[in-house]
Structure 1
């Protein structure tokens, strides 16, 4: 149902590199780069993450309450992506851990532009 989610960034080169490196273990890469916007994912037919500089040419601002949530398939991959994000320059917004016993495991980061990203696993 979701085609892609777009987040605003201040530095396209940095954002493309950050997300391509971060999501490479999930099989994602930059699929289409149109200078102002780039689509990162496994294929154009599956959900993607798009990074872009704002169309109105004003500074990007992370939304309050907005978040991109990525399900990498296991608790181990949640941990791996969280630590990789931190190594790539993200900041912690909630270390990996069980949030709801036996139901929800998650970790939260802020990318270099301040956008909030969650890595999660149900079960």
Structure 2
């Protein structure tokens, strides 16, 4: 069975990006793990990992159109709490917390480098 091991998020300002994820990762039940030759690895509470990385060829380009990291949280209230924390750290709103159809609650933001992130909770995860 295949599963995603980690996702890389490129940054043009490594120290600023690490400060953002150092503060946001604990809100997701995770922690900073270790440095790599190109960046820093973080583990989220559910076991997924994110690597904040310096691109090999220089500056990070604009985030991909249609590319998004979606993080499934344990509690419905976590959606708004994590969204607000991200905005307090300098993230920009891409969609306020709230219900999205019958699927669940979602919130969307962009990190300091423009990487789009969704935080979501769904009743379906319990079925």
TM-score, with length taken from structure 1: 0.89
Counterpart Cα distance in 1 of 2:44 and 2:65: 28
Counterpart position of 2:14: 12
Q: Deviations over 1:60-103 (max 9, x none)?
A: 321111101111212200110000000000000000000013x2
Report SS of the residue matched to 1:64. coil
Alignment of 1:1-123 (within 5 A): 1-34=3-36, 36-42=38-44, 46-101=47-102, 103-123=103-123
**Shift, 1:42, TM fit:** 4.7
Counterpart Cα distance in 2 of 1:12 and 1:83: 22
Q: Deviations over 1:22-74 (max 9, x none)?
A: 1202331210112521111158xx32011111111244321111101111212
Alpha-carbon RMSD across the aligned residues, in angstroms, is 1.6
**Ranges of 4+ aligned residues in structure 1 off by more than 4 Å:** none
Counterpart Cα distance in 2 of 1:62 and 1:30: 23
Counterpart Cα distance in 2 of 1:90 and 1:120: 17
Counterpart Cα distance in 1 of 2:16 and 2:83: 18
Counterpart Cα distance in 2 of 1:95 and 1:113: 19
Count of aligned residue pairs for this structure pair: 120
Unaligned runs of 5+ in 2: none
Counterpart Cα distance in 1 of 2:107 and 2:21: 16
TM-score, with length taken from structure 2: 0.87
Unaligned runs of 5+ in 1: none
After the TM superposition, which of the residue ranges 81-90 and 68-77 deviates more from structure 2?
68-77
Counterpart Cα distance in 2 of 1:29 and 1:36: 18
